[in-house]
Amino acid sequence: MSRVQERNQAIADALDKVRNIEAEQGVTRESLSNIRDVMVGLASQTDLFPPEDFPISKGGDGEAFEVLSVDDDGRFELYMEVADKHVTTPPHNHTTWAVVTGIRGLELNRIYEGDGGPMGEARPRVAQEIEVKKGAGVCMMPDDYHSIHIEPGEINMHLHLYGLGFAHLKGRKMYDESTGKYRSFDYTPEV
Ligand SMILES: [Fe+2]
């Protein structure tokens, strides 16, 4: 079996487990931590995800994204994110659950407190910082807010799994530091 075949098989096996966990346990913090464990197991197989198979030049600008798997109905969308640049995002939610796991390098995730300010009045406060690297992961409920931070100097590779693919998401919000308000974050090619 070629490396690509092995990788695709490993991805398919992991996502089968993920679908089963969600079907049996629903979407809770506990079920997401179980999903995270499955995805950490996948991402830790670094031999299956060598940087040469995911060249940054393909995406340009020091960053590349590749959809590795998505169901026909848009569910269980898995992205590879590769970056060797400074990346920072504003606090944002996803309106679907999300799990990020590390293959190599470091993606700092800041998780914010509260519900994101339903009226757009609450400034998000950092509740937790999680270093997502090999062997680690972070999971978020649909209403959780996070931001990600990556620094250049190495090839940072991370798997991002979403309960529903970006093309289907509506109502995502981000906190705009410059205005102090929340605003729409839909249809942004962000992670
Ligand atoms: Fe995100």
Give the mean pLDDT per block of 10 residues along the chain (191 residues): 96 98 98 98 98 82 93 97 94 95 97 64 84 96 93 96 91 87 72 48
**What's residue 187's pLDDT?**
64
What is the pTM for the complete model shown? 0.91
- Ligand 1 centre distance from Cα of residue 9 (Å): 26
Q: Please tell me the predicted confidence (pLDDT) of residue 120.
A: 53
- Distance (angstroms) between ligand 1 centre and the Cα of 124 equals 15
Q: Given this model, what pLDDT does residue 80 score?
A: 97
Tokens encoding 78: 């898995």
Question: 2 alpha carbon to ligand 1 midpoint, in Å?
Answer: 32
Cα(125)–Cα(167) distance, rounded to whole angstroms? 28
Name the β-bridge partners of 67: 79
Let me know if 74 is exposed, middle or buried by CB neighbors in 10 A (0-12, 13-18, 19+): middle
pLDDT at 123 (0 to 100): 78
Q: Whole-angstrom Cα distance, residue 87 to residue 123?
A: 22
